[in-house]
Amino acid sequence: MPDLTAAELFRRLDRELWLLTARAAEGRGGLIATFVNQASLVPDLPRVLVGIARQHHTWKLIEGSSAFALHLLSEQNLEWVWRFGLSTGLDHDKFAGLEFTAGPTGSPILDGALGWLDCRVEATLDTGDRTVYLAEVVAAKLRTTEGPLTVKQMLALAPDERRTELKEQIERDCAIDASAIEAWRRARREAFGHPL
């Protein structure tokens, strides 16, 4: 078992929060994502990398549509973190009562974020617990130059009840992800006949 030095290093980071939305024949959904990275230095060819855990309803929607939209959140969007981050879209419509439009890819676009990117998947990588999507940005809008909401800011602003819910959700997701990673690693070791 490795020591926890990597976890300590990662705790020093403060990632911005993104709301990822998608739509397919199965419906529409969204989740809060922190695994979002710019994937191109070419201004005329913008791309992103996004990692989405396979147990989420939104993952199925991305798989069905090969598209998604990313919304960069601000403190004014804190309520969206609870709406899209603490429940599953299988139980209810997370968009109920919200105004949105369809982007060029058909993904739901909420206009209240700092800005948004509408993306079409170009390639995927299965990592056991999640799928990493490389996507072309086909449309984008910047509404304001206000700074984005980060994980640490969100935790500082969260009421105690929400912070407890977030901790429980993270613990559940970690257990699911750990099992998926271990199974994926076992399968790869068996396929290649040696430890990776």
Is the residue at 185 inside a domain? Answer: no
Within a domain: 132: yes
Residue 178 lies in a domain: no
Establish if 105 belongs to a structural domain: yes
Tell whether 188 is covered by a domain.
no
Give me the CATH number covering residue 96: 2.30.110.10
The whole domain housing 140 covers 5-157
Distance CA 21, CA 109 (A): 8
pLDDT digits (tens, 9 = 90+) for 95-145: 988 999 999 999 999 989 999 999 999 999 999 999 999 999 999 999 988
- 100 located within any domain: yes
Q: Give backbone dihedrals phi and psi of 68, rounded to 5 degrees, phi first.
A: -165, 165
For residue 179, being part of any structural domain is answered with no
The per-residue pLDDT for range 51-96, each reduced to its tens digit, is 999 999 999 999 999 999 999 999 999 999 999 998 776 777 889 8
**Is 189 among the domain residues?**
no
Instruction: Give the pairing of strands 36-38 and 101-102.
Output: unpaired
**Into how many domains does the chain fold?**
1
Find residue 27's DSSP bridge partners.
24
